[in-house]
Amino acid sequence: MQIVRANYFQHIFMKIFMYTKKKIFIIFIYFVLIAFVLIGVMSSPNKSDTELRVLFSRLYRLGKDTPIIDPFNTETVDEYYLLENLTVGLVRDSSDDLRGYEPGLAEKWWQVNPTAWSFKIQNLKWSDGQPITLNQIKENLLRLKTSNGRHILYMRALKDIYINYELNEILLQFSEPVNSGLIHELSLADSGLLHTNNLKSDWNITSGPYAVSNIDLVSGQIMLKLNEHCPLTRKASYKKIKLFFPQDASEILRSFSEFPFDIHALPPYKFREKPQILIKNAPRSKLSTANLIYFFAFNPDNIQKNSISTRIRFASAFREFPIILPEGIKSNNQMLPFGYAGHLSDFTIKIKRLVSYPEINIKILLPAALKETTLLLDSIRSSLKMVGFATEITFNDSQKFDSTVFAQLYNFKGNQRESLGSWAFLFSEGNGPLSFFRPQVELLFKQVTAVQDENARKNTLLELHIKVLEEVFAVPIAVEPSIVLHSERIKLNRWNLFDLRTRYYEVE
């Protein structure tokens, strides 16, 4: 009897012990998990306190009397993408929205008739907290009609703007029919809402995701602060962006190895030795699809370019006798890369090969960055020699060249969603590399903007591309991907792989 009772109490004790042990273990695991979470929070950067450090390639050109950016003439991709971070238009292109565009200043938009579009405007504020008014939006849109923005085409035909204050709507009335391509144009940085201060090169107050909080030309830095009133910003967006001005090439080469930058979008000609050193030093890199087109454009002041037979002969050198390209860059015969709207599938140009070519002396202009690429330069001379050109190669980074230069090598990255903006940029009067040939495509431009059938519009854009290639307004020769170098602490998953637009508000 005593043995049975002892076994009974022992059994009860073991059950209590095992239950308590299990409970203690659970409590222990619970506290361990809490400790890990706390350690993670303490060690992870708080975006409200941490700044995103960006090495911005263009900033070394900035000086006391030089504006941060000219919103009406963004010459480089870097400048254009910076403007995207400082302004917002009626809409913004987006891969997250089924319409292809997300709300900006407008929450809804619709076509009223072939010559009119309406926009339902959101109640928004400038970065300083002051309300954005309908009249300010109207004034900005009217400004586009006469601006020299290089992507603007549709808004040139703007006739008038009507405001419905009760419904908070704006109606754009045009002098001729316009189609859905208008929405894309209004999504571009050129169409972004500008504060009156921005017109004076003061970006302390903006409509876009960020505003400039400080400029230090001595140390070469610009500080951006998040505009929490902008509809494009998210809770995860960095509160501060620090843009660094590289004073010279040596500072760029020491990035990542000596300076802890978070983002550096490599400029063109990444196949050269120095950019390859940068790529090796960077903790991570993000590669786009092949999107950066290299092409020759003809000097409008050079009489040789007037001969279409000379232009065709020049183009045939690269099509019939392909040049030897560095690793990482591919041969290309189109102005719009694969995967982009307006790309021509299986497109070839038949060229009548001559038995012999009379020799012509020409001078071509290449960027100074290519001065040391001996194999590439020899290959270009060799291909041109095969069709009778005795070629002198000169080097200069200036966009303006003397009348003795026949053709200049350019690089261009268009918009993956819509090609008309790309063509408008390339043919833009005065500044566009193909501006000399603008009269020959003007009719196609009018057809593209006016036609209401979407398939007919796409076919007209393809026709425009074919015309550029067949009549040799430009000679595309190669294409390479864009590369963004970045630190391990950030993610760029929201960036479009086709163009890698440096939208800082989408960095995670």
> What is the spatial distance between Cα 357 and Cα 389, in angstroms, rounded to a whole number?
9
Contacts made by residues 163-169, CB under 8 angstroms, sequence distance 24+: 163/134, 163/135, 163/138, 165/134, 167/120, 168/120, 168/121, 168/123, 168/134, 169/118, 169/119, 169/120, 169/121
Give the rounded percent of residues in the chain with a pLDDT score beyond 90. 59
Task: Classify residue 202 as exposed, middle or buried by CB count within 10 Å of its CB (0-12, 13-18, 19+).
Answer: middle
Please give the CATH architecture assigned to the domain spanning 290-482.
Roll (3.10)
Q: What is the mean pLDDT of the chain?
A: 86
Q: What is the CA radius of gyration of the chain?
A: 29
Question: Across-strand partners of 289?
Answer: none
**Structure tokens given for 203:** 């970006």
Average pLDDT (88-112) is 89
**Residue-level pLDDT at 250:** 74
In one-letter notation, the amino acid at residue 491 is: K
State pLDDT tens for residues 308-346. 889 999 999 998 899 999 888 999 999 999 888 899 987
State pLDDT tens for residues 477-502. 999 999 999 999 999 999 988 888 89
Average pLDDT (427-453) is 92
Q: In degrees to the nearest 10, what's the CA dihedral of 47, 53, 59, 62?
A: 60
Q: How many CB atoms lie within 10 A of CB 145?
A: 14
Structure-token match 């003397």, residue found: 402
**Domain chopping of the chain, boundaries:** 88-193, 290-482
> What is the spatial distance between Cα 206 and Cα 505, in angstroms, rounded to a whole number?
14
Q: Is the pLDDT reported for residue 5 higher than 60?
A: no
State pLDDT tens for residues 46-83. 454 589 999 877 644 555 566 778 888 777 788 889 99
Task: Classify residue 216 as exposed, middle or buried by CB count within 10 Å of its CB (0-12, 13-18, 19+).
Answer: exposed
Q: Is the pLDDT reported for residue 299 higher than 60?
A: yes
The CATH classification number of 88-193 equals 3.90.76.10
> What is the spatial distance between Cα 162 and Cα 197, in angstroms, rounded to a whole number?
25
Q: Is 36 left (phi over 0), alpha (psi -120 to 50) or beta?
A: alpha
> What is the spatial distance between Cα 90 and Cα 73, in angstroms, rounded to a whole number?
20
